[in-house]
Homo-oligomer: A and B are copies of this chain.
Amino acid sequence: MGLAKTEMFTDKQNQIAVFAKVFGHPARVAILQHLFKTDSCFCGNLVDEIGLAQPTISQHLKELKYLGLIKGNVEGTSVCYCIDKENWTAMKEVMSDFLDQDLPADDDCC
């Protein structure tokens, strides 16, 4: 069906999945890493840096922006993107809760 039955999961579980999903494509990982490395940069630079077509990069940027992980600032004809620090920190909190769960003691079944 290709459709996640989100209504049967907790808000937290869905939230983790939504964040994880956006990191589930190497282009978006590369975009974010580049924004971290350069502090901020224009859409066009990302098109050059990553080897995908401009509409494709624009689409990935849109998803990152929709989740609030990046912000875009219009400057003339170009748009400058950067990490949304506040939301990135909030996202990390959610993901850490999930990833840093206590590992069970050594008496498990496997």
**A104 lies within 8 A of B4 (CB):** no
Contact between A92 and B100, CB atoms less than 8 A apart: yes
B13 touches A26 (CB 8 A): yes
Give, as a whole number of angstroms, the nearest-CB distance from A35 to chain B.
8
User: Number of A residues contacting the other chain (C-beta, 8 Å)?
Assistant: 58
Instruction: Report B-chain residues with C-beta under 8 Å of the C-beta of A108.
Output: 39-40, 82-83, 85
- Whose C-beta in chain B lies nearest to the C-beta of A92? B99
Interface residues of A (CB under 8 A from B): 4-6, 8-10, 13-14, 16-18, 20-30, 32-33, 36, 39-40, 50-52, 71-73, 75, 80-85, 88-89, 91-92, 95-96, 98-105, 107-110
